Amino acid sequence: MNLTNITVFQAFQACSDDMQNIILDVRTVAECSQGIAKGSHCLELSDIDNSALKTLSLDVNYYVMCQSGQRSATAIAKLENLGFKNLYHVNEGYREWQNQKLPIDIPQVNKHDLRYNRHYQLQGFGRVAQEKLRNAHVLLIGAGGLGSSCALYLTAAGVGQITIIDDDVVQLSNLQRQIIHTTASVNTLKVQSAKKQLSALNPEISINALAKRLDENNVDELINNVDLVIDGSDNLTTRYLVNDICLKYHKPLVYAAVYQYEAQVSVFNFNKPDMPCLRCLFPQTKGFEPDNCSTVGVLGVVPGMAGVMQASEAIKLITNIGQVLESQLLVFDLLDNSFRTIKYVKDNNCLNH
């Protein structure tokens, strides 16, 4: 590669009144939203691939610019590989353009492009996966420790519709781990408190807050209406009920449970045939209920981490990337930093199948 270096002033002179000469700015959308050289065409470095041929012309002379000259050199190498010939390297970059007080534009930037920019840049994710998130409807059971971190990340990630069901009220003793709630929300409904925080984080997300308990009368309709279910409940009765109905309607279920310093996370991927269920993993023992946080305590970060893992598995399920924890139980212990996965299979004696 033979870079033809020119100064910002030379680029300004060449491009100011000649349609054949165009400044190509390869900085990020976020950088360009703050200002660009007047008349520039913006195209992120990561977007310079075969699709660039749709927005660029092989007949135009491009004066390639970034902030300080490094990304523009890489861009020129990529453009040359695509067959572009008339390329000039503005080696001082936009910083020097500003220093010399040359004319700038403040472009209108699509807010989605800014909010989800790091997803758009991410290889294997991009706009296609983001659109899948936007079209997804997730049911989150519980706005407690698991639900707090899970809901915040799902909302930040851009999951279009989130229904949260919980009949509880925020108590001061919840705040050590239920980070979606604030001291000001003590004695208010958890779903209302959660909705307020989530809407502030991302107003584009539709949050449906249901201040009731999930039970046999409402569970069918709720689960049948969504794409995926996240169980953030704290009792076995609800967990088995959710498991059974998710299996019935073939809805993927993201499971987690916490105990003191430990947590478990798994995915029951019921939209595939022959997947094991919660009863295969832990057969129900009549009347058995494990100790919960209110009696044996829990380190606040444990449900936080497990909730984040649930959000991560949900995002992978929705966007169809990576491998999810199906037929595997992830168990982690924060005291010794151990993370292990245990494989399990469908139990042919399970009454559910």
Binding site for Zn ion (CB under 5 A): 277, 279-280, 350, 352
Q: Toward Zn ion, which CB reaches closer, 280 or 315?
A: 280
Q: Which is closer to Zn ion, CB of 23 or CB of 246?
A: 246
What residue type is 274 in one-letter code? D
Shortest distance (Å) from residue 237 CB to Zn ion:
17
N- to C-terminal Cα distance for the chain? 63
Residue 94, exposed/middle/buried by CB under 10 A (0-12, 13-18, 19+)? buried
Q: Would you call 179 helix, strand, or coil by DSSP?
A: coil
- Residues in CB range of 250: below 8 A, 6 or more apart: 270, 271
Smaller CB separation from Zn ion, 246 or 277: 277
Q: Judged by CB, which is closer to Zn ion: 84, or 270?
A: 270
Cite the active site residues. Answer: 293
CA angle 119, 121, 127 (to 5 degrees): 60
What span, in angstroms and rounded, lies between the C-alpha atoms of 121 and 294? 43
Residue 42, burial from CB neighbour count under 10 angstroms (0-12, 13-18, 19+) = buried
Minimum distance between the CB of residue 279 and Zn ion, rounded to whole angstroms? 4
Q: What does the alpha-carbon distance between residue 21 and residue 91 come to, in Å, rounded to a whole number?
A: 16
Give the residues across from 169 on adjacent strands: 189
State the minimum distance, in angstroms, from the CB of residue 262 to Zn ion: 23
The answer to whether residues 97 and 105 touch, using CB atoms and an 8 Å cutoff, is no
- Nearest to Zn ion of 180, 280 (CB atom): 280
**In angstroms, rounded to a whole number, what is the distance separating the alpha carbons of residues 133 and 115?**
14
Q: For residue 162, give both structure tokens.
A: 């989130």
